[in-house]
Protein backbone atom coordinates (compact mmCIF):
# COMPACT_ATOMS: atom_id res chain seq x y z
CA UNK A 1 0.00 0.00 0.00
CA UNK A 2 1.19 3.50 -0.79
CA UNK A 3 1.87 5.84 2.12
CA UNK A 4 0.15 9.21 2.30
CA UNK A 5 3.19 11.15 1.06
CA UNK A 6 3.44 9.01 -2.08
CA UNK A 7 -0.28 9.33 -2.72
CA UNK A 8 -0.16 13.11 -2.36
CA UNK A 9 2.90 13.25 -4.60
CA UNK A 10 1.20 11.20 -7.33
CA UNK A 11 -1.94 13.30 -7.06
CA UNK A 12 0.14 16.46 -7.44
CA UNK A 13 1.79 14.97 -10.53
CA UNK A 14 -1.66 14.24 -12.02
CA UNK A 15 -2.68 17.85 -11.49
CA UNK A 16 0.53 19.08 -13.13
CA UNK A 17 -0.14 16.83 -16.15
CA UNK A 18 -3.56 18.41 -16.55
CA UNK A 19 -2.26 21.95 -16.14
CA UNK A 20 0.62 21.45 -18.60
CA UNK A 21 -0.32 18.81 -21.17
CA UNK A 22 2.71 19.73 -23.33
CA UNK A 23 4.92 18.60 -20.44
CA UNK A 24 2.97 15.44 -19.52
CA UNK A 25 5.51 13.01 -20.95
CA UNK A 26 8.35 14.72 -19.05
CA UNK A 27 6.31 14.52 -15.83
CA UNK A 28 5.62 10.81 -16.48
CA UNK A 29 9.30 10.16 -17.14
CA UNK A 30 10.41 11.78 -13.90
CA UNK A 31 12.13 14.84 -15.36
CA UNK A 32 9.68 17.39 -13.95
CA UNK A 33 7.62 17.34 -10.75
CA UNK A 34 6.00 20.77 -10.94
CA UNK A 35 6.05 23.94 -13.01
CA UNK A 36 7.05 26.77 -10.68
CA UNK A 37 6.94 29.88 -12.89
CA UNK A 38 7.70 31.48 -16.24
CA UNK A 39 11.28 32.80 -16.33
CA UNK A 40 10.83 34.57 -19.62
CA UNK A 41 8.59 34.54 -22.62
CA UNK A 42 11.00 35.40 -25.43
CA UNK A 43 10.76 35.89 -29.19
CA UNK A 44 10.86 32.24 -30.06
CA UNK A 45 10.29 30.35 -26.84
CA UNK A 46 8.99 30.46 -23.31
CA UNK A 47 11.35 29.31 -20.58
CA UNK A 48 9.82 27.80 -17.43
CA UNK A 49 11.43 27.10 -14.09
CA UNK A 50 10.31 23.64 -12.97
CA UNK A 51 10.85 21.66 -9.81
CA UNK A 52 12.94 18.68 -10.86
CA UNK A 53 11.43 15.20 -10.98
CA UNK A 54 12.86 12.10 -9.34
CA UNK A 55 15.42 11.30 -12.04
CA UNK A 56 17.18 14.68 -11.85
CA UNK A 57 19.66 15.39 -9.08
CA UNK A 58 19.42 19.19 -9.09
CA UNK A 59 16.50 21.08 -7.53
CA UNK A 60 15.22 22.68 -10.74
CA UNK A 61 15.01 22.13 -14.47
CA UNK A 62 14.57 24.78 -17.17
CA UNK A 63 11.98 23.87 -19.82
CA UNK A 64 12.36 25.79 -23.07
CA UNK A 65 9.12 25.51 -25.03
CA UNK A 66 9.39 26.67 -28.63
CA UNK A 67 6.48 28.59 -30.05
CA UNK A 68 4.62 27.18 -32.96
CA UNK A 69 5.91 28.88 -36.07
CA UNK A 70 2.78 30.98 -36.62
CA UNK A 71 3.11 32.71 -33.27
CA UNK A 72 6.68 33.69 -33.45
CA UNK A 73 8.77 36.40 -34.93
CA UNK A 74 11.09 34.35 -36.99
CA UNK A 75 14.71 35.11 -37.52
CA UNK A 76 16.15 35.43 -41.03
CA UNK A 77 16.33 31.67 -41.56
CA UNK A 78 18.37 31.52 -44.73
CA UNK A 79 21.59 32.88 -43.23
CA UNK A 80 21.67 30.08 -40.67
CA UNK A 81 20.10 27.31 -42.75
CA UNK A 82 22.52 27.47 -45.67
CA UNK A 83 24.67 24.40 -45.76
CA UNK A 84 22.48 22.44 -43.34
CA UNK A 85 21.64 18.92 -44.37
CA UNK A 86 17.86 18.65 -44.26
CA UNK A 87 16.88 15.14 -43.21
CA UNK A 88 15.66 12.64 -45.79
CA UNK A 89 14.34 13.26 -49.32
CA UNK A 90 10.69 13.45 -48.34
CA UNK A 91 11.44 15.90 -45.55
CA UNK A 92 13.62 17.94 -47.88
CA UNK A 93 10.84 18.16 -50.52
CA UNK A 94 8.33 19.24 -47.88
CA UNK A 95 10.78 21.83 -46.59
CA UNK A 96 11.43 23.21 -50.04
CA UNK A 97 7.72 23.43 -50.81
CA UNK A 98 7.14 25.21 -47.48
CA UNK A 99 4.15 22.95 -46.90
CA UNK A 100 2.73 22.47 -43.42
CA UNK A 101 4.83 19.34 -43.04
CA UNK A 102 7.79 21.38 -44.23
CA UNK A 103 7.27 23.99 -41.56
CA UNK A 104 7.13 21.26 -38.94
CA UNK A 105 10.37 19.83 -40.26
CA UNK A 106 11.92 23.25 -40.07
CA UNK A 107 10.62 23.90 -36.58
CA UNK A 108 11.90 20.50 -35.46
CA UNK A 109 15.15 21.57 -37.07
CA UNK A 110 15.65 24.63 -34.86
CA UNK A 111 15.00 22.87 -31.58
CA UNK A 112 16.97 19.83 -32.64
CA UNK A 113 19.88 22.09 -33.53
CA UNK A 114 19.83 23.64 -30.09
CA UNK A 115 19.70 20.21 -28.42
CA UNK A 116 22.46 18.85 -30.63
CA UNK A 117 24.75 21.86 -30.01
CA UNK A 118 24.15 21.80 -26.24
CA UNK A 119 24.97 18.09 -26.04
CA UNK A 120 28.12 18.42 -28.10
CA UNK A 121 29.41 21.55 -26.37
CA UNK A 122 28.52 20.51 -22.84
CA UNK A 123 30.40 17.23 -23.36
CA UNK A 124 33.33 19.27 -24.68
CA UNK A 125 33.49 21.28 -21.43
CA UNK A 126 31.83 24.51 -22.61
CA UNK A 127 30.02 26.81 -20.18
CA UNK A 128 26.51 25.89 -21.31
CA UNK A 129 23.59 24.47 -19.28
CA UNK A 130 23.64 20.68 -19.11
CA UNK A 131 21.03 19.39 -21.57
CA UNK A 132 18.67 16.75 -20.12
CA UNK A 133 16.27 15.70 -22.85
CA UNK A 134 14.36 16.96 -25.87
CA UNK A 135 11.09 15.92 -27.50
CA UNK A 136 8.59 17.75 -29.71
CA UNK A 137 8.87 21.48 -29.13
CA UNK A 138 10.34 21.15 -25.61
CA UNK A 139 13.95 21.07 -24.47
CA UNK A 140 14.87 20.42 -20.82
CA UNK A 141 18.17 21.63 -19.42
CA UNK A 142 19.96 22.61 -16.25
CA UNK A 143 18.32 25.63 -14.62
CA UNK A 144 20.81 28.40 -13.91
CA UNK A 145 20.08 30.27 -10.67
CA UNK A 146 17.78 29.74 -7.73
CA UNK A 147 14.05 29.09 -8.22
CA UNK A 148 13.02 32.58 -7.12
CA UNK A 149 16.24 34.22 -8.31
CA UNK A 150 17.07 33.19 -11.89
CA UNK A 151 20.49 33.95 -13.35
CA UNK A 152 20.71 37.45 -14.84
CA UNK A 153 21.48 38.05 -18.52
CA UNK A 154 24.90 39.69 -18.65
CA UNK A 155 23.66 42.93 -20.22
CA UNK A 156 21.87 43.73 -16.93
CA UNK A 157 24.87 42.99 -14.72
CA UNK A 158 27.24 45.57 -13.24
CA UNK A 159 30.57 43.80 -13.16
CA UNK A 160 32.97 44.24 -10.27
CA UNK A 161 36.38 45.75 -10.96
CA UNK A 162 38.75 42.99 -12.03
CA UNK A 163 35.96 40.56 -12.86
CA UNK A 164 35.45 41.75 -16.43
CA UNK A 165 38.82 40.53 -17.78
CA UNK A 166 38.35 37.06 -16.42
CA UNK A 167 34.80 36.77 -17.78
CA UNK A 168 35.89 38.14 -21.17
CA UNK A 169 38.48 35.37 -21.40
CA UNK A 170 35.87 32.82 -20.37
CA UNK A 171 33.61 33.87 -23.26
CA UNK A 172 36.56 33.84 -25.71
CA UNK A 173 37.55 30.37 -24.49
CA UNK A 174 33.99 29.26 -25.24
CA UNK A 175 33.93 30.77 -28.74
CA UNK A 176 37.20 28.99 -29.52
CA UNK A 177 35.96 25.71 -28.07
CA UNK A 178 32.78 25.94 -30.18
CA UNK A 179 34.85 26.53 -33.29
CA UNK A 180 37.11 23.61 -32.43
CA UNK A 181 33.90 21.51 -32.41
CA UNK A 182 32.65 22.99 -35.69
CA UNK A 183 30.10 25.36 -34.21
CA UNK A 184 29.57 29.12 -34.23
CA UNK A 185 26.89 30.37 -31.83
CA UNK A 186 25.71 33.04 -34.32
CA UNK A 187 23.52 35.00 -31.89
CA UNK A 188 26.05 35.62 -29.17
CA UNK A 189 25.72 38.80 -27.15
CA UNK A 190 25.29 39.86 -23.54
CA UNK A 191 21.60 38.90 -23.94
CA UNK A 192 22.43 35.21 -24.35
CA UNK A 193 25.01 34.95 -21.59
CA UNK A 194 23.70 34.26 -18.09
CA UNK A 195 25.55 35.42 -15.00
CA UNK A 196 25.21 33.57 -11.76
CA UNK A 197 27.43 33.95 -8.69
CA UNK A 198 30.36 35.27 -10.71
CA UNK A 199 30.18 32.55 -13.37
CA UNK A 200 28.78 32.48 -16.88
CA UNK A 201 26.56 30.10 -18.83
CA UNK A 202 25.99 30.72 -22.51
CA UNK A 203 22.52 29.89 -23.83
CA UNK A 204 20.26 29.97 -26.89
CA UNK A 205 21.87 27.83 -29.63
CA UNK A 206 19.11 27.05 -32.20
CA UNK A 207 20.80 29.11 -34.90
CA UNK A 208 24.32 27.76 -34.28
CA UNK A 209 26.02 27.06 -37.62
CA UNK A 210 28.64 24.60 -38.80
CA UNK A 211 31.57 26.60 -40.22
CA UNK A 212 32.55 23.69 -42.48
CA UNK A 213 29.40 24.09 -44.55
CA UNK A 214 27.78 27.48 -43.89
CA UNK A 215 29.02 30.15 -46.33
CA UNK A 216 28.17 32.94 -43.85
CA UNK A 217 30.26 31.43 -41.06
CA UNK A 218 33.05 34.01 -40.96
CA UNK A 219 30.62 36.95 -40.88
CA UNK A 220 28.63 35.26 -38.09
CA UNK A 221 31.80 34.59 -36.08
CA UNK A 222 32.87 38.20 -36.58
CA UNK A 223 29.51 39.46 -35.31
CA UNK A 224 29.63 37.22 -32.22
CA UNK A 225 33.14 38.41 -31.37
CA UNK A 226 32.24 42.07 -31.98
CA UNK A 227 29.17 41.84 -29.70
CA UNK A 228 31.20 40.32 -26.90
CA UNK A 229 34.06 42.82 -27.28
CA UNK A 230 31.60 45.76 -27.32
CA UNK A 231 29.94 44.60 -24.09
CA UNK A 232 33.22 44.10 -22.24
CA UNK A 233 34.67 47.40 -23.54
CA UNK A 234 32.07 49.08 -21.30
CA UNK A 235 33.80 47.43 -18.36
CA UNK A 236 37.28 48.50 -19.41
CA UNK A 237 38.40 45.45 -21.40
CA UNK A 238 40.34 46.62 -24.46
CA UNK A 239 40.27 44.22 -27.40
CA UNK A 240 40.46 44.15 -31.17
CA UNK A 241 37.53 42.08 -32.50
CA UNK A 242 38.92 41.97 -36.06
CA UNK A 243 42.25 40.62 -34.90
CA UNK A 244 40.59 38.08 -32.62
CA UNK A 245 38.28 36.88 -35.41
CA UNK A 246 41.14 36.64 -37.93
CA UNK A 247 43.22 34.69 -35.44
CA UNK A 248 40.40 32.26 -34.62
CA UNK A 249 39.41 31.77 -38.25
CA UNK A 250 43.00 31.23 -39.38
CA UNK A 251 43.51 28.57 -36.73
CA UNK A 252 40.20 26.95 -37.63
CA UNK A 253 41.23 26.74 -41.31
CA UNK A 254 44.62 25.28 -40.38
CA UNK A 255 43.00 22.77 -38.00
CA UNK A 256 45.05 24.31 -35.19
CA UNK A 257 42.46 25.26 -32.57
N1 LIG B 1 18.87 27.23 -18.49
C2 LIG B 1 18.34 28.37 -18.07
N3 LIG B 1 18.33 28.69 -16.75
C4 LIG B 1 17.77 29.85 -16.31
N5 LIG B 1 17.21 30.77 -17.13
C6 LIG B 1 17.18 30.51 -18.45
C7 LIG B 1 17.74 29.32 -18.99
N8 LIG B 1 17.59 29.32 -20.34
C9 LIG B 1 16.96 30.47 -20.62
N10 LIG B 1 16.71 31.20 -19.51
C11 LIG B 1 16.04 32.51 -19.43
O12 LIG B 1 15.09 32.60 -20.48
C13 LIG B 1 15.43 33.67 -21.39
C14 LIG B 1 15.12 33.27 -22.82
O15 LIG B 1 15.91 32.14 -23.20
P16 LIG B 1 16.50 32.00 -24.65
O17 LIG B 1 17.39 33.15 -24.95
O18 LIG B 1 17.10 30.64 -24.77
O19 LIG B 1 15.17 32.04 -25.55
P20 LIG B 1 14.70 33.06 -26.69
O21 LIG B 1 13.38 32.63 -27.16
O22 LIG B 1 15.77 33.20 -27.70
O23 LIG B 1 14.53 34.39 -25.92
P24 LIG B 1 15.04 35.84 -26.31
O25 LIG B 1 14.17 36.28 -27.41
O26 LIG B 1 14.88 36.60 -25.03
O27 LIG B 1 16.50 35.67 -26.73
C28 LIG B 1 16.90 33.96 -21.10
O29 LIG B 1 17.24 35.29 -21.37
C30 LIG B 1 17.01 33.66 -19.62
O31 LIG B 1 16.60 34.75 -18.85
MG1 LIG C 1 17.87 34.52 -26.29
* Domain presence at residue 247: yes
Q: What is the atom index within ligand 1 of the atom nearest the CA of 191?
A: 29
| Same structural domain, 142 and 39 | yes
CA–centroid distance, residue 11 to ligand 2 (Å): 35
Q: Do 81 and 70 touch, CB atoms closer than 8 A?
A: no
| Same structural domain, 185 and 99 | no
Ligand nearest to the CA of 50: 1
Domain's final residue, options 114, 146, 178: 146
Whether the per-residue pLDDT at 96 is higher than 90: the answer is no
* Domain presence at residue 20: no
Domain's final residue, options 146, 174, 192: 146
Whether the per-residue pLDDT at 90 is higher than 70: the answer is no
Residue 42 Cβ inside 6 Å of ligand 1? The answer reads yes
| Same structural domain, 141 and 173 | no
Residue 45 belongs to domain spanning: 33-146
When divided into structural domains, the chain yields a total of 2
| Same structural domain, 180 and 233 | yes
Residue 131 Cβ inside 6 Å of ligand 1? The answer reads no
CA–centroid distance, residue 183 to ligand 2 (Å): 17
Mutate to test the pocket of ligand 1, among 32, 36, 37, 40 (most ligand atoms within 8 A of CB): 40
| Same structural domain, 106 and 189 | no
Domain's final residue, options 146, 164, 189: 146
Protein residue with its CA nearest to atom 9 in ligand 1:
47
CA–centroid distance, residue 151 to ligand 1 (Å): 10
* Domain presence at residue 141: yes
- pLDDT greater at residue 78 or residue 168: 168
**Sign (positive/negative) of CA torsion 63, 66, 71, 73?**
positive
Tens digit of pLDDT for each residue in 19-74?
A: 888 999 999 999 999 999 999 997 789 999 999 999 999 999 999 999 865 444 55
Number of H helices, E strands in the chain: 8, 10
Protein residue with its CA nearest to atom 16 in ligand 1:
204
Residue 111 Cβ inside 6 Å of ligand 1? The answer reads no
Q: Do 134 and 128 touch, CB atoms closer than 8 A?
A: no
Amino acid sequence: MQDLDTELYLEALDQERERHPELASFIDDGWIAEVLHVVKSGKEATVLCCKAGSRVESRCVAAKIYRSRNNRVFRNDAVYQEGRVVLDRRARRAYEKKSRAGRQVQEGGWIYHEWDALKLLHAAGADVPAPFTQAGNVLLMEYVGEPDDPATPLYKVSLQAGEAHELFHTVMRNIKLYLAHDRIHSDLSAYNILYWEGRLKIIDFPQAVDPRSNPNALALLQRDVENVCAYFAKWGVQSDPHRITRGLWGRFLRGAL
